[in-house]
Chains A and B, each alone.
Chain A
Amino acid sequence: MIEFVVEGLSNIARYIIPSLLVGIPFYALAVKKIPVYEVFVVGAKDGFTIAVRIIPYLVAILVAVGMFRASGALDLLLEILAPALNFIGFPPENLPLALMRPLSGSGSLGLLTDLINTHGVDSLTAKIGATMYGSSETTFYVLAVYFGSVGVVRSRHAIPAGLFADAVGAISAVYLCKLLLI
């Protein structure tokens, strides 16, 4: 049953982008008589400026995150957090991924691959890891790109709120998997 739903949704997803690429211009051209090619080019022109504008913000955030990852500081953080997490029943094997997820997409994908290879794809550890990976975004990267694109430097409560949501997501992943998959 679930396999069927998953497959169905993925199949629908495959058609969404092509449908939008054709459907939007079709509506504009056929119903509204809009010169779609000319309008497309006007909009597309901004692609370059926006992409270039985010460079300084990306460099700032990604360099700091990269240094943090390379330094092994995450391992120190793990040691500090381990007792508290053990207490609430958070499996230590899943902690590195939970900490890495908001920082780096490729880093957390590497950790997930590692979990699956070490514990096996059917293990609860791997499933918790995959749920964690699927249920969160690289908060720092998104912040740099989104705020950077418009020149916002004072992020106010964005980071605390984002990290709180990430923590809730990671903890939910653990308990939901324990509850539903055993």
Chain B
Amino acid sequence: MLNYIWFGMMAIAVAAGIINGKIDDVTAAAIDMAEVSVNIAIGLIGIMALWLGIMKIAEESGLIRIIARGLRPITIRLFPDVPEDHPAIGSIVLNMSANMLGLGNAATPLGLKAMEELQELNEQKDTATNSMVMFLAINTSSVQLILPATVVALMGATASDIFITTILATLLSTIAAITAVKVLEKMKRFAPDAPSLGTGSGEADHD
């Protein structure tokens, strides 16, 4: 899937760039974004370190397990292949809470921690599990209880008008995400062992 989408985006970009006379912009964007990507990753180091450190304390003190156990009735339905008490559930719950509260800076490190723990349960290290896809889908469609700071800054007092609409829209998109994942994961073409373009010669580093 990603192979075609990735190539398709670039191929369409080049074709549209030629048609629109923007081929120079396309070239510049490719070079720029390569640099931007590295800056984003480097910028994550500090904040990642901070939250991973705090998370380690939460884990060692048993706090994560307490959270995971408390929300088990909900999470068992969404992530049936994650065993009870597994630390992944704790990280997932914390990531979802951070997302709902608009704490983007805290959400990413917590989410990556959850991915790492989900990867421990994964038998095919280069392929996403059902739980990983579910987690990602809920994450990107997350219910938003707090409006993004950028929106509040742009809209001022008017921002409170869209408080309810944002909560409801995110609620609907989360329901759509969960339903879509549950339906699609049963389809043959999305099965973990569905044939793809080789196994990827680039043996991605699963250390």
Q: Which residues of A pack against B, CB within 8 Å?
A: 2-3, 5-6, 9-10, 13, 16-17, 20-21, 24-25, 27-28, 31-32, 34, 36, 39-48, 50-55, 58-73, 75-76, 102, 109, 112-113, 116, 121-122, 126-127, 130-139, 142-143, 145-147, 149-162, 164-166, 168-169, 172-173, 176-177, 180-181
Contacts and interface: CB of A to CB of B under 8 A. Distances in A.
Contacts of A20: 54, 106
A80 B168 CA distance: 29
Contact of A71 (B12, B136, B172): B12
A5 B101 CA distance: 14
Chain B facing A: main interface SS = helix
Interface of B: 1-2, 5-6, 9-10, 12-17, 19-20, 22-23, 25-26, 28-30, 32-34, 36-38, 40-42, 44-50, 52-63, 101-103, 105-106, 108-109, 111-112, 115-116, 118-119, 122, 125-128, 132-133, 135-137, 139-142, 144-148, 150-152, 154-166, 168-170, 172-174, 176-177, 180-181, 184-185, 187, 190-192, 194, 196, 200, 202, 204-207
Contacts of A168: 172-173, 176
Nearest to A138: B140
B170 A32 contact: no
19 contacts: A9-B146, A13-B102, A17-B106, A24-B61, A43-B57, A46-B52, A50-B52, A63-B37, A65-B33, A66-B29, A70-B22, A71-B16, A76-B19, A137-B140, A143-B136, A146-B115, A150-B119, A154-B192, A181-B161
A59 B154 contact: no
A143 B160 CA distance: 30
B61 A34 contact: yes
A46 B50 CA distance: 10
Contacts of B184: 157, 160-161
B44 A51 contact: yes
B154 A62 contact: no
Contacts of B118: 150
B2 A153 contact: yes
Contact of B133 (A28, A71, A112, A158): A158
A44 B37 contact: no
A20 B101 CA distance: 13
A150 B116 contact: yes
Contact of A152 (B6, B128, B147): B128
A6 to B, nearest CB: 5
B46 A13 contact: no
B126 A151 contact: yes
A144 to B, nearest CB: 9
Nearest to B154: A116
Contacts of A42: 53, 56
Contacts of B156: 121
Contacts of B151: 112, 130, 133-134
A72 B206 contact: no
B25 A70 contact: yes
B189 to A, nearest CB: 9
Given A71-B22, A126-B155, A161 B133 contact: yes
Given A134-B144, A157-B184, A71 B20 contact: yes
Given A71-B25, A158-B132, A161-B137, 5 more contacts: A2-B160, A10-B152, A72-B20, A154-B196, A180-B164
A176 B165 contact: yes
